[in-house]
Amino acid sequence: MRIIPAIDIIEGKCVRLTKGDYSTKKIYNENPLEIAKAFEASGIQYLHVVDLDGAKAKHIVNYKVLEEIATKTNLKIDFGGGLKSDEDLHIAFNSGANQVTGGSIAVKNPEVFNKWITKYGPDKIILGADCNNEKIAINGWQEESELDVIPFIKNYQAKGIDYVICTDIAKDGMLEGPSFELYTRILSDVDNVKLIASGGISTFNELPKLKEMGCEGVIIGKAIYENKISLKQLETLI
């Protein structure tokens, strides 16, 4: 199972939110590159970068931060937040993203998202299946759609998607544990999905459980920043 720390960006700074609520913003570092370098120094190979300004603005905003991390570390970065057009995608890949995550666009503009899957392939395009009460949420989690998470994933798997990041928004930033039940159901209902668990990770002991369940990766954010899980502990899983 891949260990994937998260860096969420607002105004170029490393922040965390609770349940996606922008009013709960807490700044952890003015310089995301410092954080990324600390991850790399601990043996971390992967990084999840979210452009929260982009998610709100509905177009890529913080690509310069992505570019700086990509050029000054060897981390393999998946990037999401506000990717709505071919131009956004072009900027993200040009700025050094290894993979990009599409969530809102997969709901609102499936034709474009399907085109991305065909053009770039399943190794480059991740489906963002973030949900609240199992309904897919969009636009930086500010809106809830009518789409149920498991059929949503199955639909895109039929179109060629392999990787899926699923965040249970009710768990995100709460440090109360991930959505084990939801992930168990996804993994049993959707064959061969590369499921990346996200949201709610609070202790190191949750990680082996997610691995045992069959998660391909796990995104860890606030638990690292609040020292609930140390980089030393993560080294044992890398």
Query: What is the residue range of 61's domain?
Result: 2-235
- Residue among 8, 51, 88, 172 flagged as catalytic: 8
**DSSP-derived secondary structure for 139-188:** TTTTEEEEEEHHHHHHHHHHTT--EEEEEBTTTTTS-S---HHHHHHHHH
pTM reported for the whole predicted model: 0.96
Catalytic residue flag (residue 21): no
Tell the burial category of 104 from Cβ atoms under 10 Å away from its Cβ (0-12, 13-18, 19+).
Answer: buried
Catalytic residue flag (residue 148): no
What's the domain count of the chain? Answer: 1
- Residue among 51, 130, 168, 172 flagged as catalytic: 130
pLDDT per residue over 150-180, tens digit each?
999 999 999 999 999 999 999 998 999 999 9
pLDDT per residue over 52-75, tens digit each?
999 999 999 999 999 999 999 999
We report the CATH number of the domain holding residue 230 as 3.20.20.70
The pLDDT-based confidence of 15 (bands split at 50, 70, 90) is very high
